[in-house]
Every structure is written in C-alpha cells, then in structure tokens.
Amino acid sequence: MKHTQKKNINSISNKANMPTVKVKYSIGLTLLLIFSLQLNAQKDRKLTFVGGARSILNNGRLIVNDSIPDTTTVKRNEGGYALIDLGVNIKPNKNTEIMGMFRIKNNFGGFWGSGVSFDVRQLWIKGIVGNVLRYQLGDLNLKQSKFTLYNHHADQIDSLPAIFNLQQNIVNYERFYMNNNTWRMQGANVDFGLTFSKFLKEINFTAFLTRLNATNFANVSDRLMNAYSVQLVKNNHLALTGHTNTIFDVNGTTNNKNLFNNSVNSIEWKYENKLKTDNAYSFAGEFGNSHYYYSADTLAPRLSDYFIHAFAQMKLKKMNLMATVGYLNVGADFRSIGAQSKDVNYNAQPVYFNRYTNTQVIRPTTLFDVISNENIYSRTINSNFMSGSQLFNNVLPYGLATFNRVGAYLKLNYKNKKELMANAEYYNLSEIRGQGTTALKQFAIYKVNVNVPFHKLFNLKRTLSIQAATNMQMANRKGNEAIEDVDLKMMQTTVGLRWEFSPNFELIGGMINQTNKGNDFSADRNAYTEVTYFQLNNYNLTQQITAVGLRYNFTPKIYLCALYQQSNYQDKKQNNANFKMNQFGLIYNIIL
Amino acid sequence: MKYKIHLFALITLALFACRKDKSKVDGPSITEIFSDFKVAETFKCSKDSVNFNKGETAFFTARFNKIVKWTITIQGNTSKAVKIINGESKVIDASNSSWNGSTTVFPMFAKEFCLAKLTIKDVTDSFTTNVRISNTKKLEGVIVADFETGLNAKWTRFAQSGANMDFQIKTDAFAPQGKSYLNMAGTVNWDYLIGLIDFPANAYSAAPTLPLPTNPESVYFNCLIYGVNNTNTSLVLFQFKEDENGDGIINANNEDEYDYQITVDWVGWKLISIRYADIVTLVNGNPAAAKGNALHNPDKIGKISMLHLANPNNGFASSKLDLMMFTLNKPLEP
C-alpha cells in the first residue's frame, strides 16, 4: 500500500477553485468589456495577480399591452456598471496556496463613492499536508452525488444557442457556477487517496464541513453541512462510492432546542467494460435514503424515504452512438436539501423592469429572466425548501432528485468525427403518491437536440453551423372526479445560427419559443414541506426571445459583437398583462 | 455472460423498486377544495356563559364540506374589545377555536355579552352566535403598575416643566385594562426626557428586590403602550436596575442595569412582551457591557425606571402606558 503522490500543488485537480479568468462571454444587448490580468504567470513565482473586469451598458425598452394603458411605468432603461475583480494568489511554499479576490463595482452615474461598492469575491487557502492530504479552507465549490449535493440547473435550457450563452455565462460567473453542478459554499474540505497493489486499486476519501447559515443568537441556530464520500476502486472496471451528507442545527448556538436535521446516505456504483467489437458498456447508479426531522417540534413530521437510480449505457464506437436506458424511483418523502435546492429562486423579483402596468404589479419571471437575470439565481443552497415553476420544469423541478417520481428514461447521443451531433431523450414518469387525490399524475419529457457544423461536413474554410432543439413536457392525470384532472403541456423550441461570412466576421442569431398550455395544481407547502393547499393554475402562455448579432473575432479570445434582442410575453389567460422587451447592445470581450 | 448477469441484476432491482403509494395522499382533497362551500353543522359556542376568572374556556363548533380559511371575531358589546381566532380546516372545534378570555384588540374584555362572528374566505355569508362573560380573565404574574389605585406613595414621579405637559393617571374610556392608565405627553425642547417614574422594589414587598424567580429565561416583562396619532415619535425606556448585593442600594457603577427601549411608531394600544434574558444594557441607546456580574438576575431587580423620551427637536410627543407586569414562562396573554 502506498499513498497517492501529490508532488506539487499545481497538479491538484482543482474542483474547489475558481479559474483565474472565467468571463468568457457577456450579456447580449449590452456593452460589455472584459479584460483580465495575469501577471507573473510563471509557475514558480510566489505572487500572482489574477482577475477580470467587465463593463455593461443597458439599452432596453418595455412595451406593455394591458387592458388599461400603462402610463405609470418608465418604459426605457439605460444604465449599467463597471466592475473589476482583482485577486492576489500567494504561494508561500510549494504546498500552500492562498487566494484573495476583491471586487470593485461602480454603477454608471455614480462616482467617487456614490454607487461604488467593495466586496470580497473569494477567499481561500489550500494546500497539501505531508504530500498526502489535500485541504482547502474558505470558499469552496462543492458537489457530491446527484442525490446528496448537486446543482441540477433543472430550469436552465440545456441546448441554448450560442448567442444566448453569452448571457447565461454571465450568470454562471456571478453565481460561481464555474465547475458544472457545484454549489458555492464556505467551510473546509479535505481529501486523500490510497493505492494498493492487491485486491483494490485505490481508495479515495473526501470530507467537508460547511456553514449554511449563521446563528442570530436568539432563535436561529447555526446550520452546518457535514459530508463525506469514500470511493473504492476495485479495478479499471468497477468502482463503489459511499456518500453521507447531513445538514444539522448545532445544539447550543441558541437556546432553541428544536434542532433541524436532514441526512442522506447513498451508495453509487459503476461497472464498465469493453466488448470484443470495440464497443463498451456500463452499468451505474445510486441508491440510498434520507431522514428529515426536527428534534423537539411535535407538529413537525419525521420524513424518511429511499431512492434508486440505475442506468445501463452502451457505446457503439463504429456507429458513433451512445445509448442509455435508466430507471428512477425517488420516494415521495425523500428530502435532500443539498440536491433539491434550486438555482432559480422564483420568489426573487427581477431587477430589470421589475414592476409594470398602471397598478405597478411585479413583473412575472419570464424566459428572459431565466436566461440572463443573475438576480433570480442563488449562489448557494437554500436551507429551506424551494418551490419550482410549472412553466419551466414541471416534470423534474429538482432534476433527478425530484421526489415522488418513478419511471424510466432513454437517451441516444450521436456524434461523428465531423462533430455532427444529435441527442434525443425520453422520460416516462409517474407520481408515487397522489397529491390531493389517489389518482397519480403521469409525466413525459421528449427532447431532441441537433447541431450541424456545415463547415466541417463540407470542408468549408469558415464556420457555418446550425443548432436546433425541442423540449416537450407533459403532465396528465385522469382524476376520480373531473376537477382532479390535469393536462399541462410545455413546448420549448430553440434555433441557433453561427455563420462566418467574412474572415473573422460572424453572424450569430437565435430564437427560443416556449408555450405552456393547460391546467395543473401547484402545492402550497408549510415550513416542514407538507402540502397544506392546492392552487389551480390555468395556462395559455407564449414566450419568445429572438436575438441577432454581428461578431468580429480579433483572436479566439478577443471579439467585438453588436446584438439586438426582442422578447415577447403573451398570456392569453390574462393572468398577467402582456409585454415586450427590446434591447440593443455591444459586446467587447477579452480573455487573456 | 457478465453482461447478462448485470442486465438481470438491473431488471431485478427495477422490479423490486417499483412502488405505488396509494395508501397515502399528500395534502387536502382537491375535490373538497374546489367544490362549492356548504355548512354541514351550524356555528355555535360551547357555552352560553363563561367565567374566565375560574380558568374556564369556551370554544366554537362548526363543520363544513371542505377545508376553508375561517376567522372568528368575538366583540364585547360594551367594551368593544375584540378577540380574533383564525384557522384553516374543515371542522371548528376545541382543538382550534378555544378562547380563554384573552384579547386581540384592546381594551380588554369586561363582564359583558359578546357577539361571535364567523367569516369564511371567499364566502359572502357570515354566521353569528352569542356568549356571555360572567367574569373576566385573571391576570397571573407580578403586577408592577396598572394605575387603578393612583400613584403608589413609594413610586417617584418626575415630569419636566415643558409645554402641554401631562404625566398623570387618567380614568376614561381609553383604558385598555381596568379603568385607568398613565398619560404621558408634553413638549420639552431642551432634553430628551419628558418624564419618568421609578418603581422601587420596596413598593411591593419588604424585601429590597422584586419577588421574581432566578431564571431569566422564564421571566417575561410586559406592558401595554398606546401610540397617539399625529404626534412625534415617543421613546419609552424601561431600566431594570439590579441590586446584586441586596443592600437596598442601587449602585450604577458596579451593579447591572438592563434597558429596554421601545420606539412607539404605531397608533393604538399594543402589547409589548420581552423575555428578561433578552434585555441588554444600553448606553445612549447602544448596547454596552453590563457593569455588575453581567448575569440577568430577575430576582435581584431592585428598581424599575420608566422614562418617557422624545427628540427635543421634534416637539410635542405623547403616548400612554398601562399594565406593567411580569409573567412566568410565557408572555402575557391579556
């Protein structure tokens, strides 16, 4: 047996660290300037300055189509901000690294103190003890398994055209969604690995402790997350991982003796092998259970349930095809705050034209906000239950960790050497326990996503690619009484274009259309996540965003782009007044 | 062969995992929620007459065909006191509508007839029933001042000589409890202090400290304060001065004083309650370190000072005070 060697801190796979410069794109229809500094980038220097900067100018217009003309709302919005993230990376020795990053932000119109804010954007220390144990203190980007701690991004569109990705990537940077599916947390993380010559190939151990919320010294106790994972790698084919994740109130941090606890335990497995034909197959999955309770509240339920997720995957190399068939079973009382926290907070108000109509009602959260509004996104997990939106994901609002779902899914992924890509997904799910009735809802998701790189298919010199996708969700219930019936459909279509019509000049464009039609019930839940009431929602809603832009690429990392975007919100049920938002902007983007 | 074994294991796992939980349903019945409202059992009170002074309670009953959000509003015919009970259920019974004579909107109830009115959300009809209070609720705790018998001779009263000054006990229909209360008003443009009253422990017993238990977690201080409409904001400051060595002398330099300052920014009577353990030491309105043993000792309170304050630049300020008292284990439920 020997320790896994960690020769230098630079060799650490840095899952808890944010890259030095990650601003790859910026908001469409705004003027965006990004540049970054990386001084003394040589590996052996002890002091490195890292950072980035961004400037945004907004030019937007709101058009409200209400039964009573809206004479109250200010219809134009021009503004923006400039910010700089300046970080100092210190390596006092080869096994220690310290990072501190400050943000200076100035809203346009303010100067010398007015509108200027100073924040600490990130602060961490990491290193290696005895060439064996890696540790990190401070800011951490963490994930475990899909059922213990995972940012599912359940409501983000996973087939966004490139022009909308400009905006989505700003959200990702601002909310630290830098390493896929992680949550930004604060605490301490340690991990180490052991390798063996017999019986086992290696054992990897990871543990962390983070603080979710601080005590107010009166009635809100300190709430922590304590988790660890142990991975046993038998050989190149088989690996088993055990996860434990516990969120708990710390006794004694207040006089409140009613302490919350949510623990999730699971085992993940993966077996993969190759066939003689050069094809490969794998079986993988996870099963486990959860417990959710308050120690002294007699009104609070003690919820316990289990889940199973298993899938088989076949890679057919000659056909460039990968097929996956999976089974999902997540109990109605399965609760995992780490995996069931949502990135989109639908209770947050949009800051851009946040009120409208003569009565100044709050503008509903729309497709435009989900794509580009960083203010509705959460930085870290929420220690309370977060509700979802029936408009954006009614079937799996918490990703695979959505409770009360059982069923199967099928995925087909095709990608050839010329990067012609086609993906298809089908989910067929059902509730396990009825909601307000013994009748169960049935769910289905159909997804198709195609990317055609004509320039590679026909050996063109310049880029010409088209991307198209559709996502259809359905929820149905045939109730015992007609009032219990549910029939809700969501259809989302995206189309994107990227055409280099002259050397380094690109035309980029995209369109997203989403319709929600039908009825469904949404559950009101109390603080213990119990259903207390149902609201009947009727939808006949169409949302559309169209964007077109011209981009000049100075280098692969420097470009200038002009964009125009229109978004349209039409609610035929008149639950909310119809409106349009038009925006124009310029993007200047540099990554050093 | 391995492939088949794994496929078999997967299918077996899936079959084992199949489940439908038809024995349970989450939440209230949708059929009930969205059906038309009907009364299955009329609205009644459990008693025609209730003596709250003896610890009796009354409750209301009704039954509907579905879960509804309901409100029972009980109003005294004479006092106009109001008690409001809210709930969301299909059945109204002792578990969710019990009334012990307490008050939601002051003044407090008197010996009188009351009308109880049941209203239901999204239902236009309302339902009524009557109940008589034969005796009012007993106030349990240590009463510092209810002003019913005038100023205690051992209290010390001081009022500035400003304009429109009033620092007197009044007996009129404003009284939220009993018949009297302390009216505090005036314009003092040179000082925050308008007036104060010291309540020394020896006004209540021969001992130098108040007869309270030792555990500050179990002791609550309560009072009723009235905010007057269209006047400047009053500050009511309570100072709890502990006589830690029991010598009958309050020494501000080496004995604890805990302060609770209330900004009266509402209109009407309001119940103020705070646990003694949650009261901090203030210096010029800011938290500061206690000067004695830094332990909350309710059993060592030697004197309570009540100060009526206002910003001297603002002009006339006014508020009213009644029913200063300590309760045990829970806030006052008047």
- What ipTM does this complex have? 0.81
Considering chain B, tell me which residue range(s) the CATH 2.60.120.430 domain(s) occupy: 142-328
pLDDT band at A40 (very low <50, low <70, confident <90, very high): very low
Q: What is the mean pLDDT of chain A?
A: 87
User: Nearest residue on chain A to B279, judged by CA atoms?
Assistant: A218
Residue A561: predicted pLDDT? 80
CA distance A380 to chain B (A): 29
Q: Which residues of chain B neighbour A483 with C-beta distances below 8 Å?
A: 30-31, 34-35
Q: Which residues of chain A neighbour B18 with C-beta distances below 8 Å?
A: 329, 406
Inform me whether the pLDDT recorded for A54 exceeds 80: no
d(CA A575, CA A567): 18
CA distance B2 to chain A (A): 10
Residue of A269, A327, A429 to mutate, testing the B interface (most B Cβ within 10 Å of its Cβ) = A327
Q: Averaged over A42-58, what is the pLDDT?
A: 74
A205: CATH: 2.40.170
- B30-135, what's its fold? Immunoglobulin-like (2.60.40)
Task: Report which DSSP code applies to B172.
Answer: S
B26 touches chain A (CB under 8 A): yes
d(CA B332, CA B273): 7
- B142-328, what's its fold? Jelly Rolls (2.60.120)
Residue A17: predicted pLDDT? 37
Give pLDDT tens digits for B264-307.
999 999 999 999 999 999 988 888 888 999 999 999 999 999 99
Give pLDDT tens digits for A321-373.
999 999 999 999 999 999 999 999 998 888 788 889 888 889 999 999 999 88
Structure-block tokens of residue B310: 């206002």
C-alpha dihedral (B195, B201, B205, B211), degrees to nearest 10: 120
User: B-contacting residues of A 464-503, CB under 8 Å?
Assistant: 479-481, 483-484
Is there a contact between B6 and A312 if contact means CB atoms under 8 Å apart? Answer: yes
Asked, as a colleague might, if the bond just before B107 is cis with ω within 30 of 0, I would say yes
Q: What is the mean pLDDT of chain B?
A: 90
Q: Which domain holds residue A432?
A: 2-590
User: Nearest residue on chain A to B217, judged by CA atoms?
Assistant: A255
- Per the CB < 8 A criterion, the answer to whether A49 and A40 are in contact is yes
Inform me whether the pLDDT recorded for B235 exceeds 70: yes
Number of domains in chain A: 1
pLDDT band at A168 (very low <50, low <70, confident <90, very high): confident
Q: Averaged over B201-219, what is the pLDDT?
A: 91
Q: Which residues of chain A neighbour B35 with C-beta distances below 8 Å?
A: 483
Considering chain B, tell me which residue range(s) the CATH 2.60.40.2550 domain(s) occupy: 30-135
Q: Report how many helices (DSSP H) and strands (DSSP E) chain B contains, helices first.
A: 3, 20
- Per the CB < 8 A criterion, the answer to whether B183 and B290 are in contact is no
Maximum separation of any 2 CA atoms in chain A, in Å: 78
pLDDT band at A108 (very low <50, low <70, confident <90, very high): confident
d(CA A107, CA A351): 14
Of A332, A523, A536, the CB nearest to B21: A332
Residue B15: predicted pLDDT? 55
Radius of gyration, CA atoms only, chain A: 25
* CB within 8 Å of A472: residues ≥ 6 apart: A444, A445, A446, A447, A489, A490, A491, A492
Give pLDDT tens digits for A234-273.
999 999 999 999 999 999 888 888 999 999 999 999 999 9
Of B13, B26, B67, the CB nearest to A435: B26
CA distances, A566 to each of A367, A495, A545, A546 (Å):
12, 15, 6, 5
Give pLDDT tens digits for A543-584.
999 999 998 888 876 778 888 999 999 999 888 999 999 988
B95 touches chain A (CB under 8 A): no
Residue B86: predicted pLDDT? 95
Closest CA to A58 of A8, A101, A108, A130: A108
Give pLDDT tens digits for A474-529.
999 999 989 999 999 999 999 999 999 999 999 999 999 999 999 999 999 998 99
Residue B2: predicted pLDDT? 58
Q: Averaged over A127-140, what is the pLDDT?
A: 94
- Per the CB < 8 A criterion, the answer to whether B216 and B276 are in contact is yes
Q: Which residues of chain B neighbour A308 with C-beta distances below 8 Å?
A: 13-14, 17
Residue of B21, B86, B89, B90 to mutate, testing the A interface (most A Cβ within 10 Å of its Cβ) = B21
CA distance A344 to chain B (A): 25
User: Nearest residue on chain B to A481, judged by CA atoms?
Assistant: B31
B29 touches chain A (CB under 8 A): yes
Residue B6: predicted pLDDT? 61
Inform me whether the pLDDT recorded for A45 exceeds 70: no
Residue B13: predicted pLDDT? 61
Residue A523: predicted pLDDT? 94
Inform me whether the pLDDT recorded for A299 exceeds 90: no
Q: Averaged over A163-188, what is the pLDDT?
A: 87
